[in-house]
Structure 1
């Protein structure tokens, strides 16, 4: 056996992958996705936004769909406070307490990301599931807790359609952001709570205050 054969028989240890920049790259991917949509997004765009080499991205993600899937999935971990939704003692108080400026901005961004991946969702069941889990379910889960508390307190009827109630706010926000191209602010959110969600739950509209 020659020295060359011996050298080639030795295991070759590649460079250890550095994942420390993954969060920055995934954030950059989400930004590009929200701005251009899936079809317009390229790995080059993400690399430029993240100030990373294109090769760095390809070592970590072999294709654009893989990068998008990871980017969408990572949004779930940042969504809501790990302590759960606020418990103020009233349904309106809980819903209003969920209206925070950072939360509003993140919701708008999520909607733009979702709009950006619509074309791919239809072709990729795995991405559709990831989008549901990361973009829709965290807020729906928090709303379910809030409405179930209200039922347990006797504040609203146990016959209330919780799933529909959970969808009213997100649907209003989605229409305003995606169709009307109008930013969502605190006044809009609280108005939706007082004039639409609470009456739909069987409660009288609150006096404008908050």
Structure 2
């Protein structure tokens, strides 16, 4: 990111508005529809103000994407609570103000190396936190020793992501009110599955 010249003070509010506008525009239009002029219009600032701070649109977008946080490690000592909080963190990535930008990242990450790197950081934080969570639960005896870490996490994180993406736009506003119940039912289902001796997909005959 470029800085302003000597004696020129940065306005934090302008920075915030531009970065938020960049994430909003990227989420709505993707990289193909992203440019400094459009960001300036959304942010309500002049293009010159943006170019004083960022030399290119790519540099601006990279800084904006760096505002996106990863998934933090969760440890409460109870696997159900840990999994619920992990799922809530994943859902908030997609439901929050920058949710559309996160979705775009998943599709376009390979188009620009620096953007791809940011996506890898976000994904890696999620994978590391999730794997650590499951392995701790196995060490405490809350999950069977042979639990497939990959399969459990694919089902949990994949289900949450699909739930958000499959919700029609006109119903997306209802997600915050229904997310908590959905996540808890999902976690309870997965825990029953991995703790059961009955293989997944096999139906008991009455």
The match for 1:172 is 159
The match for 2:182 is 188
Partner Cα distance (1:190, 1:121) in 2: 31
Distance 1:128 1:80, change over 3 A: closer
Partner Cα distance (1:73, 1:203) in 2: 41
Number of aligned residue pairs: give it. Answer: 184
Which of 27, 30, 37 is matched with 1:37 structurally?
30
Partner Cα distance (1:164, 1:67) in 2: 37
Say yes or no: does 1:125 pair with 2:119. Answer: no
Distance 1:22 1:159, change over 3 A: farther
The match for 1:85 is 74
Distance 1:115 1:54, change over 3 A: same
Tell me the C-alpha RMSD between the 2 structures: 3.0
Q: Give runs of aligned pairs for residues 155-170 of structure 1, distance below 5 A.
A: 155-170=142-157
**CA shift for structure 1 position 130:** 0.8
Which of 60, 63, 83 is matched with 1:95 structurally?
83
The match for 2:10 is 18
- Unmatched 5+ residue regions in structure 2? 198-206
Partner Cα distance (1:123, 1:38) in 2: 9
Structure 2 contact 90–157 (Cα < 8 Å) conserved: no
The match for 2:202 is none
The match for 1:73 is 66
Distance 1:85 1:19, change over 3 A: farther
- Unmatched 5+ residue regions in structure 1? 1-12, 205-210
Partner Cα distance (2:148, 2:196) in 1: 14
**CA shift for structure 1 position 170:** 2.4
Say yes or no: does 1:49 pair with 2:42. Answer: yes
TM-score by length of 2: 0.72
TM-score by length of 1: 0.71
